Structure 1
């Protein structure tokens, strides 16, 4: 993630508190007016693990408007 990604985003979701802390350390100014959510999903999964995808989807879906 870089500052351009943060500026583009309306809502930023991270899996764990340590991820949010890292973002705040690196991008404090850019995060000033952003909506931030910690999903409380342990960062113990492999990339694109189907269980991880399901956990993230279930946690994020209620926060966003999905247009079908």
Structure 2
């Protein structure tokens, strides 16, 4: 049975990937940086798709992402 150990990350997908390797967790709740929230900018879908592809192929430690 897969257990999820996670963290709440402020700063985006790049930091979530970096910290998941550094601190050994496989689930991240990502809160965009403040300027992104204030300006209501779109999330970079290219990076998101690349991350999802890496998760699907089993190349990343991170297995679950929640963006809010």
**TM-score normalised by L of structure 2:** 0.31
Report the structure, 1 or 2, having the larger strand content: 2
Q: Which has the higher contact order (CA 8 A, sep 6+)?
A: 2
Give 1 or 2 for the bigger CA radius of gyration: 1
TM-score (norm 1): 0.31
